[in-house]
């Protein structure tokens, strides 16, 4: 799933760096109860990935672009990553191109780890650390910490365990777009405070602990903005359309298809009011929970400053 973003600065006029999000598949081998994504079989073909990259780099020929490999579980489509990554790297080398892949880590077998070790420029976002030795052998990774409402009271304990195992790059992902009870929100607030204290103490001792939430930003919580391409080549300005609550927005936000480049309407991405779309799509209490969770995350980030 996607890395965290804060909701509050929606109107502050920031410009997001160009990002290509290749949604390699909507399939996943897990069924996390808090997962917002609509799952389906099938995966992106190499032709689609290649065409998407060509279109993206034609529109963004400069430096500092990011390519993200997403799912579902993108490791189910490792074959496509293996095929497209060397081509992108060789063609755009020297342009500060960054790669990310977000994985639940359950499919990180020896061959997948070897692949990631060969490409240290890929930052791997790992959700859950089932096998710390495997994860620690990756050259460039951070740990995503999903926080479902019923486990918010365990967050501090979990963060302490990760830090004790030598993990130094973290990204906090409280479950958005769900109903949170007030006791769960209180637990989240308390355990964010505990976690901030743990991190601050280690930083004072000179340990370099990176919290991705301190630098990540997007106009919607959780989802990625940029040139988002689905497995069949359809282009959207944001991957929230792949979530259950927002899937009815697909036809409204679809810009076109990478295989029919003449008919892509890029201007449809302009002036989309995500705050209004989210408010209209969510039940009232879920919307309120989403704001409350985001407020707690924002305070946590502020406490780290
Ligand atoms: S691993 Fe990610 S995509 Fe798969 S079910 Fe869990 S949250 Fe959803």
pLDDT (average), residues 119-142: 86
| Residue from 32, 77, 125 whose mutation best tests the ligand 1 pocket (most atoms within 8 A of CB) | 32
Query: Would you say 228 and 44 are in contact if contact means Cβ atoms under 8 Å apart?
Result: no
Query: Would you say 103 and 70 are in contact if contact means Cβ atoms under 8 Å apart?
Result: no
Query: Would you say 159 and 199 are in contact if contact means Cβ atoms under 8 Å apart?
Result: yes
User: How far is ligand 1, taken at its centre, from the CA of residue 177, in Å?
Assistant: 15
Higher pLDDT residue, 250 or 16?
250
**Model confidence pLDDT, tens digit, residues 241-273:** 999 999 999 999 999 999 999 999 999 998 899
The per-residue pLDDT for 245 is 95
Q: Which atom of ligand 1 is nearest to the CA of 29?
A: 4
User: How far is ligand 1, taken at its centre, from the CA of residue 262, in Å?
Assistant: 34
Return mean pLDDT, the chain: 91
Q: Which residue has the tokens 């359309």?
A: 241
The per-residue pLDDT for 6 is 38
pLDDT (average), residues 113-136: 86
Q: Which atom of ligand 1 is nearest to the CA of 28?
A: 4
CA–CA separation, 58 and 68 (whole Å) = 17
161, 191, 198, 301 from 156: Cα distances, Å: 9, 5, 8, 15
Q: Which residues line ligand 1 (CB under 6 A)?
A: 1, 28, 30-32, 35, 37, 71-73, 104
% pLDDT > 70, the chain? 94
| Residue from 4, 24, 28 whose mutation best tests the ligand 1 pocket (most atoms within 8 A of CB) | 28
| 10 pLDDT above the threshold of 70 | no
pLDDT (average), residues 211-236: 92
Q: Atom 1 in ligand 1: which residue has the minimum CA distance?
A: 104
| 130 pLDDT above the threshold of 80 | no
Ordered domains of the chain (ranges, CATH): 8-304 (3.20.20.70)
pLDDT (average), residues 73-87: 95
Query: Would you say 103 and 83 are in contact if contact means Cβ atoms under 8 Å apart?
Result: no
User: How far is ligand 1, taken at its centre, from the CA of residue 243, in Å?
Assistant: 11
Range name among 16-20, 199-203, 242-246 with the lowest pLDDT average: 16-20
Range name among 32-46, 84-98, 192-206, 258-272 with the lowest pLDDT average: 84-98
| Residue from 3, 35, 40, 74 whose mutation best tests the ligand 1 pocket (most atoms within 8 A of CB) | 35
Rg of the chain over all Cα atoms, to the nearest angstrom:
19
Q: Which atom of ligand 1 is nearest to the CA of 104?
A: 1
Q: For 20-67, where are the alpha helices, taking DSSP H only?
A: 46-59
Query: Would you say 40 and 256 are in contact if contact means Cβ atoms under 8 Å apart?
Result: no
């Amino acid at each position: 799933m996607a890395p965290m973003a804060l909701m509050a600065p929606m109107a502050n006029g920031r410009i997001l760096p160009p990002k290509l999000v290749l949604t390699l598949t909507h399939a996943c081998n897990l069924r996390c109860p808090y997962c917002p994504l609509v799952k389906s079989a099938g995966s992106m073909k190499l032709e689609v990935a290649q065409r998407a990259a060509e279109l993206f780099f034609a529109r963004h020929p400069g430096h500092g672009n990011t390519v993200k490999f997403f799912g579902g579980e993108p490791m189910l489509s490792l074959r496509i990553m293996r095929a497209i990554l060397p081509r992108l790297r060789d063609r755009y080398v020297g342009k500060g191109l960054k790669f990310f892949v977000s994985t639940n880590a359950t499919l990180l077998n020896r061959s997948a780890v070897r692949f990631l070790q060969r490409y240290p420029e890929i930052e791997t976002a790992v959700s859950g650390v089932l096998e710390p030795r495997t994860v620690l052998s990756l050259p460039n990774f951070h740990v995503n910490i999903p926080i479902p409402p019923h486990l918010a009271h365990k967050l501090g304990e979990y963060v302490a365990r990760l830090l004790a195992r030598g993990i130094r790059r973290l990204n906090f992902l409280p479950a958005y777009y769900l109903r949170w009870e007030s006791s769960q929100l209180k637990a989240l607030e308390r355990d964010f405070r505990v976690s901030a204290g743990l991190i601050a103490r280690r930083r004072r001792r000179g340990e370099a602990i990176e919290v991705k939430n301190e630098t990540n930003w997007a106009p919607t919580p959780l989802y990625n903005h940029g040139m988002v391409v689905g497995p069949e080549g359809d282009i959207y300005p944001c991957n929230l359309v792949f979530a259950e609550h927002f899937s009815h927005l697909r036809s409204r936000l679809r810009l076109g298809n990478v295989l029919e480049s003449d008919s892509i309407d890029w201007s449809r991405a302009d002036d989309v009011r995500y705050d209004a779309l989210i408010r209209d799509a969510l039940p009232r209490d879920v919307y309120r929970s989403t704001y409350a969770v985001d407020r707690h995350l924002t305070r946590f980030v502020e406490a780290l400053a």
